[in-house]
Amino acid sequence: MDQLHHECGIAALYHLPGLQASPLAPLAGAEQVSRLMPRLLLDLQNRGQLAAGFSTFNPRREKLLDTYKQIGTVIEAFRLNHQAKAESIMREHAGRAAIGHVRYATCGASDRNYAQPFERHHGCKWKWFAFAFNGQLANFAELRDQLLTQTDYHLTRNIDTEIIMHYLSKELSQYVEERPNLVEVFRSLCRQFDGAYNLVFLNAMGDMVVLRDPNGFRPLCYAWDDDGLLFAAASESVPLFNLGFRNIRSLEPGTMIVIQDGEVRHECFAEPRTPSHCFFEWIYFANVASTLDERSVYLTRRALGEELARQERQRDQVLLDGDTIIVPVPDTGKAAADAMAAALGVPSVEGLIRNRYIGRTFIEGQNRAERVQLKYTPLREVLAGKRVLLIEDTIVRSTTMKTLLHDLRQRGGAREIHVRVACPPIVAPCFYGIDMSTMRELFAPRFMKGSRLTEAEQRAMAAELGADTLCYLPLEAVARCIGLDASQLCRGCLTGEYPTQTGERLYQLSLRQRNGSAQSRTYEMPAIASTGV
Same domain, 305 and 185: no
Same domain, 113 and 235: yes
The answer to whether 53 touches 100, Cβ cutoff 8 Å, is yes
Q: Which amino acid is at 104?
A: Y
Same domain, 196 and 309: no
Same domain, 269 and 300: no
Longest distance between any two alpha carbons in the chain, whole Å: 78
User: Among the three residues 273, 307, 329, which one is the final residue of a domain in this structure?
Assistant: 273
At 492, the pLDDT band (50, 70, 90 cuts) reads very high
User: Among the three residues 241, 273, 305, which one is the final residue of a domain in this structure?
Assistant: 273
pLDDT in tens, 368-389: 667 778 889 999 999 999 999 9
Q: What is the pLDDT of residue 155?
A: 87
Domain assignment present for 2: no
HSE value, Cβ hemisphere, 13 Å, CA-based, for 129:
24
Same domain, 173 and 309: no
pTM for this entry = 0.92
515-526: average pLDDT? 54
Number of domains, the chain: 2
Q: What is the pLDDT of residue 41?
A: 98
The answer to whether 45 touches 73, Cβ cutoff 8 Å, is yes
Domain assignment present for 521: no
Give the percent of the chain with pLDDT over 90. Answer: 76
* Average confidence score pLDDT of the chain: 90
At 4, the pLDDT band (50, 70, 90 cuts) reads low
d(CA 433, CA 136): 5
The answer to whether 423 touches 401, Cβ cutoff 8 Å, is no
Same domain, 201 and 308: no
Q: What is the 3-state secondary structure (H, E, C) of 441-476?
A: HCCHHHCCCCCCCCHHHHHHHHHHHCCCEEEECCCC
79-93: average pLDDT? 96
In sign, the C-alpha dihedral spanning 187, 192, 198, 203 is negative
d(CA 533, CA 528): 6
Which of 15-24, 164-173, 318-327, 424-433 has the lowest average pLDDT?
15-24
d(CA 108, CA 68): 19
d(CA 474, CA 399): 23
Same domain, 268 and 367: no
Q: What is the pLDDT of residue 110?
A: 66
pLDDT in tens, 139-180: 999 999 999 988 788 888 888 999 999 999 999 999 988 899
d(CA 6, CA 106): 8
Which one of 8, 107, 190, 490 is the catalytic residue?
Answer: 8
Got the DSSP string for 373-406? HHHEEE-HHHHTT-EEEEEES--SS-HHHHHHHH
Domain assignment present for 508: no
pLDDT in tens, 304-353: 999 999 999 999 989 999 999 999 999 889 999 999 999 999 999 999 99
The answer to whether 21 touches 246, Cβ cutoff 8 Å, is no
User: What's the angle, vertex CA 176, arms to CA 172 and CA 179, rounded to 5?
Assistant: 65
Q: What is the pLDDT of residue 359?
A: 58
In sign, the C-alpha dihedral spanning 315, 318, 320, 326 is negative
Does the pLDDT value for residue 115 go beyond 70?
A: yes
**Residue 261 belongs to domain with CATH number:** 3.60.20.10
Q: What is the pLDDT of residue 367?
A: 66
E-strand stretches of 271-396: 277-278, 291-292, 295-296, 324-328, 352-354, 376-378, 387-392
88-116: average pLDDT? 85
Domain assignment present for 414: yes
pLDDT in tens, 179-218: 999 999 999 999 999 999 999 999 999 999 999 999 999 9
User: Among the three residues 206, 238, 273, which one is the final residue of a domain in this structure?
Assistant: 273
Same domain, 176 and 71: yes
Let me know how long the chain is: 533
Same domain, 76 and 156: yes
For 357, the 3-state DSSP assignment is coil
- Domain carrying residue 105: 8-273
At 251, the pLDDT band (50, 70, 90 cuts) reads very high
- Count each helix (H run) and each strand (E run) in the chain, helices first: 19, 23
**Residue 405 belongs to domain with CATH number:** 3.40.50.2020
Q: What is the pLDDT of residue 438?
A: 86
486 class by beta-carbon count within 10 Å (0-12 exposed, 13-18 middle, 19+ buried): middle
Domain assignment present for 525: no
For 337, the 3-state DSSP assignment is helix
d(CA 475, CA 471): 12
Q: What is the pLDDT of residue 532?
A: 33
Does the pLDDT value for residue 527 go beyond 50?
A: no
- Strand bridging mode 416-421 / 469-472: parallel
Which of 285-299, 301-315, 515-529 has the lowest average pLDDT?
515-529
Domain assignment present for 255: yes
Domain assignment present for 126: yes
Domain assignment present for 173: yes
Does the pLDDT value for residue 530 go beyond 60?
A: no
Give the residues across from 120 on adjacent strands: 129
Same domain, 176 and 32: yes
What CA–CA distances, in Å, run from 417 to 163, 245, 379, 385, 423? Answer: 47, 44, 14, 11, 18
Same domain, 353 and 476: yes
Give yes or no: 124 in active site. no
Same domain, 100 and 200: yes
Contacts of 264 (CB under 8 A, 6+ apart): 16, 231, 257, 258
Q: What is the pLDDT of residue 22?
A: 77
The answer to whether 163 touches 143, Cβ cutoff 8 Å, is yes
